[in-house]
């Protein structure tokens, strides 16, 4: 069962709080998508956590077995708050920007949650980086509101934004990787003009999309794969695998070019030949995709991530082979096949953005795009990811429907989907 921890930090009442409006929307949509989920709600804006003091610090840094009764009592609330974080799979944080930073109530909550021995360990044997988080694999959604605008990286007020960097700096205490923070912000609140209205509408849509995304069943969310349908009996629904001789006339030149280029006619091409227009569209788009400024490794990351997300066994095997022939690093290929992070942070950012484009159905949040740009990519790359996604839609969906048989050249790299592995 998935557990959602909702934290509201606004000092405003419900009817005047934009962030509570967003956290309410997120919770409603999340439960609609996952009615069996558990929600833990804590309103630290209306019921603030008391500030820590010297007694709290003394108690926290005293080993549990040496604590006096008053120390245990002083840490009781902190223990409850931490237990809520530990239980959570997803944390949704209603965090308005106050004086360019976080509300005092939010800072107080973080101070209680960031505790040695509970959410982080400290060891000088690690050298200059003695702190290591204890919690991991959690997701964080930050729903914010700002009186002004332009606080995003590169924006006119980016240098004033003390809220987002502070949350990111403390995220490891909650078991959240910075790459797993999704931020939606309403802006222009003080201006109260049409720009504010548009910002509210956009934030609602982004919040709704994130809630639906995170509300999906945990299995699908982890594997990024739809449930694989059972194999159908090959009867009248069979799609022919054409030879050059049997193919429609318009498809013959393309199959002949494939034979010349590959040394054989791939079964995907032979299947697409039934409709020469899709074969022409696929090969033409493939050639265009090859003209992008992306490296071969980056192109294969886009293509193979789409193959995996769509559960296309044929294309995973084929592109594993093509990646090996093109000199793509073996650890990158393994990560793409196994849905594990790529060691190179820039390449991993590309893999994650392909996932975002797919799971959001082309509706990434502004924060997700900015994170991708900060990784070293450009707006051109954003569009080229869409190009690669369109290319693989043609091949993946064809293979799903036709159940294309693997060519001998690709059999050595056959890819059992995680879903099929789990069923064995």
Q: Is residue 227 part of a domain?
A: no
Q: Is residue 238 part of a domain?
A: no
pLDDT at 387: 95
> Which residue would you say has higher pLDDT here, 235 or 313?
313
Q: Is 50 exceeded by the pLDDT of residue 210?
A: yes
CB contact at 8 A, 166 and 95: no
pLDDT at 1: 84
Do 310 and 373 share a domain, yes or no?
yes
Do 267 and 414 share a domain, yes or no?
yes
Do 388 and 287 share a domain, yes or no?
yes
Do 131 and 87 share a domain, yes or no?
yes
Q: Is residue 232 part of a domain?
A: no
> Using CA atoms, how far apart are residues 316 and 304, in angstroms rounded to an integer?
6
Q: Is 80 exceeded by the pLDDT of residue 421?
A: no
Q: Is residue 269 part of a domain?
A: yes
Which CATH number fits the domain that encloses residue 369?
1.20.1290.10
Domain span at residue 348?
A: 249-423
Do 282 and 203 share a domain, yes or no?
no
- Over residues 344-354, mean pLDDT: 93
- Over residues 168-196, mean pLDDT: 93
pLDDT at 237: 55
Do 168 and 317 share a domain, yes or no?
no
Q: Is residue 47 part of a domain?
A: yes
- Over residues 210-236, mean pLDDT: 55
197, 216, 235 - which closes a domain: 216
- Over residues 265-274, mean pLDDT: 92
Q: Is residue 52 part of a domain?
A: yes
* Per-residue burial over 241-255, b = 16 or more CB atoms within 10 Å of its CB, e = otherwise: bbebeebeeebbebb
> Which residue would you say has higher pLDDT here, 217 or 79?
79
Q: Is residue 415 part of a domain?
A: yes
Stretch among 117-121, 262-266, 276-280 having the lowest mean pLDDT:
262-266
pLDDT at 233: 47
DSSP lists the bridge partners of residue 43 as 8
- Over residues 204-217, mean pLDDT: 86
Which among 270, 300, 301 is positioned nearest to 283, based on CA atoms? Answer: 270
Do 185 and 278 share a domain, yes or no?
no
170, 196, 216 - which closes a domain: 216
Query: Whole-model pTM?
Result: 0.54
> Considering its fold, how many domains does the chain have in total?
2
Do 394 and 287 share a domain, yes or no?
yes
Do 70 and 153 share a domain, yes or no?
yes
CB contact at 8 A, 354 and 302: yes
State the distance between the two ends of the chain, measured CA to CA, in whole angstroms: 23
Which CATH number fits the domain that encloses residue 212?
3.40.50.360
Do 182 and 323 share a domain, yes or no?
no
Q: Is residue 240 part of a domain?
A: no
pLDDT at 347: 93
Could you write out the DSSP letters of every residue in 30-83?
HHHH-TT-EEEEEETTTSPPPPP-HHHHHHHTS-GGG--HHHHHHTHHHHHHHH
Do 200 and 273 share a domain, yes or no?
no
CB contact at 8 A, 303 and 391: yes
Q: What is the pLDDT of residues 358-384, one digit of tens each?
A: 888 888 888 889 999 999 999 999 999
Do 260 and 358 share a domain, yes or no?
yes
CB contact at 8 A, 117 and 43: no
pLDDT category at 224 given cuts 50, 70, 90 is very low
pLDDT at 217: 59
Q: How many residues belong to the chain?
A: 424
Q: In the Cβ-directed half-sphere of 404, how many Cα atoms lie within 13 Å?
A: 31
pLDDT at 219: 40
């Amino acid at each position: 069962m998935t557990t959602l921890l909702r934290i509201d930090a606004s000092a405003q009442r419900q009817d005047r709080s934009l962030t509570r409006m967003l956290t309410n929307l997120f919770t409603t949509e999340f439960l609609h998508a996952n009615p069996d989920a558990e929600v833990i709600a804590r309103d630290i804006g209306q019921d603030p956590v008391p500030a820590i003091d010297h007694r709290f610090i003394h108690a926290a840094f005293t080993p549990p077995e040496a604590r006096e009764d008053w120390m245990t009592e002083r840490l009781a609330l902190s223990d409850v708050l931490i237990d809520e974080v530990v239980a959570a799979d997803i944390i949704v944080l209603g965090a308005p920007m106050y004086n360019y930073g976080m509300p005092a109530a939010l800072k107080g909550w973080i101070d209680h949650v960031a505790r040695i021995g509970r959410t982080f360990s400290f060891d000088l044997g690690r050298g200059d980086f003695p702190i290591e988080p204890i919690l991991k694999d959690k997701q964080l959604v930050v729903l914010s509101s700002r009186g002004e605008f332009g606080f995003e990286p590169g924006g006119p007020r980016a240098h004033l934004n003390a809220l987002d960097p502070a949350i990111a700096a403390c995220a490891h205490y909650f078991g959240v990787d910075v790459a797993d923070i999704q931020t939606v912000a309403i802006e222009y609140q003080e201006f109260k003009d049409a720009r504010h209205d548009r910002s509210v509408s956009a934030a609602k849509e982004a919040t709704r999309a994130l809630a639906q995304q995170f509300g999906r069943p945990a299995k699908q969310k982890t594997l990024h794969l739809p449930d694989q349908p059972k194999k159908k009996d090959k009867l009248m629904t069979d799609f022919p695998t054409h030879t050059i001789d049997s193919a429609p006339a318009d498809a013959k030149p393309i199959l002949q070019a494939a034979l010349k280029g590959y040394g054989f006619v791939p079964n995907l091409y032979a299947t697409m030949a039934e409709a020469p227009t899709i074969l022409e569209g696929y090969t033409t788009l493939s050639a265009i995709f090859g003209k992008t400024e992306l490296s071969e490794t980056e192109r294969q990351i886009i293509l193979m991530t789409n193959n995996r997300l769509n559960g296309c066994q044929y294309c995973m095997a084929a592109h594993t082979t093509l990646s090996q022939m093109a000199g793509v690093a073996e650890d990158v290929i393994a990560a793409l096949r196994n849905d594990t992070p790529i060691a190179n942070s820039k390449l991993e950012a590309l893999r994650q953005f392909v996932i975002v484009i797919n799971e959001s159905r082309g509706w990434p949040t502004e924060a997700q795009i900015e994170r991708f740009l900060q990784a070293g990519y450009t707006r051109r790359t954003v569009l080229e990811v869409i190009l690669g996604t369109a290319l693989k839609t043609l091949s993946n969906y064809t293979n799903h429907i036709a159940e294309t048989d693997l060519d001998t050249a690709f059999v050595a790299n056959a890819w059992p989907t995680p879903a099929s592995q789990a069923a064995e």
